[in-house]
Amino acid sequence: MPAPDRKVFETAASWYVQFQDQSPTHAERQAWQDWLDSDPAHQAAWQQIEQLQRHLGTLPQALSRRALSAGQHRRQMLKLLLLLAGTGYVGWNLQEHTRLTSVWADYKTAVGQRRTLDLADGSRVHLNTGTAIDVSFDAHRRLIRLFSGEILVQTGKRQDVRPFFVETGDGRIEALGTRFTVRQLSDATRVGVLEDRVSVAPGGALGSAGILKAGEQADFNGQGMGAIHAYPSSQAAWVNGQLIVLDTPLGDVIDELGRYRPGVLQCQERARHLRVSGTLRLDSTDAVLANLQASLPIQVRYFTRYWVSITRVD
């Protein structure tokens, strides 16, 4: 299939932005389908939009949650898509992004996949959906580099005096005989501690390290560490293929489910505030969506395999 030029990709991105705020009408969906079928290059452009979702997950939450009906916000979303297209995240430069963060990583998982690694020192690392890491052990240190996604680390019980680090683009975490999670966000790294303690060094500067204890979590970037919040163990239930929620806004649940399936999973603003409680199966997101539809005043509509929209019906 031929690669589309920039003008065609801009049109595909405009369709995407147009449908983010609300489900398309029948006429709009038919117009989009006619455009899609009229030229193979149009199909290639739309596939690039889907590749963006598959390789990067959802767009930054602060942007995707905005009411895109305002022209300014539509322009911001469109500019973001075009920026990603031109800097290696989608389309003609997608292979470059994949090569840097995934293909050459020592270990990786696809969207919706999880994996467990037993390391030579007796440590165990769980990889969540869409995760890529390198493992580098030498005579002086044990190091995991997290490029994307999320991991849960349980350090080994053997008497190994080498320090154990997890490194991201935002800084470095040192395990102090512990069990903890590290998640790479779009603009920060999130650390949650399940057992014992970790030391967090934003920007890798050990002199400015802070300590997180069991039951605590915080985000950090190269400028510093944010506020410390409670970290219930249920947040790590993804290791067992579960998402545990208690009186949680539906919008937050859908955002989280979107990490485990390729494509666009969007939730209408009117439906985002509905509350959800329960244990959801991450290995069967379609079944979860069906159950949510059966228990809440919502409709789940599949436009394509990679495009699902949730609207409120009352």
Q: Which of 232, 254, 280 is the last residue of a domain?
A: 232
Count of the separate structural domains present in the chain: 3
Alpha-carbon distances of 246 from 179, 290, 302, rounded to whole Å: 24, 19, 27
Closest CA to 144 of 105, 111, 116: 105
Q: Which of 19-28, 138-147, 205-214, 291-300: highest mean pLDDT?
A: 291-300
How confident is the model at residue 88, as a pLDDT? 47
254 touches 298 (CB < 8 A): no
281 vs 103, higher pLDDT: 281
Q: Which of 201, 232, 263 is the last residue of a domain?
A: 232
Q: Which of 42-51, 140-149, 223-232, 279-288 has the lowest mean pLDDT?
A: 42-51
What pLDDT, in 10s, does the model give residues 54-97? Answer: 544 444 443 343 333 334 445 555 555 665 555 444 443 434 44
Mean pLDDT computed over 46-59: 59
pLDDT at 13 over 80: no
Shared-domain flag, residues 189 and 261: no
> Does residue 285 lie in a domain region?
yes
Residue 88's domain spans which residues? 6-101
How confident is the model at residue 162, as a pLDDT? 92
Q: Which of 73, 101, 129 is the last residue of a domain?
A: 101
The label of the residue with tokens 């193979």 reads: 40
DSSP, residue by residue, 99-167 = IIIIITSSEE--TT--EEEE-TTS-EEEE-TT-EEEEEE-SS-EEEEEEESEEEEE---S---S-EEEE
Shared-domain flag, residues 226 and 250: no
What pLDDT, in 10s, does the model give residues 182-199? Answer: 999 988 999 999 999 999
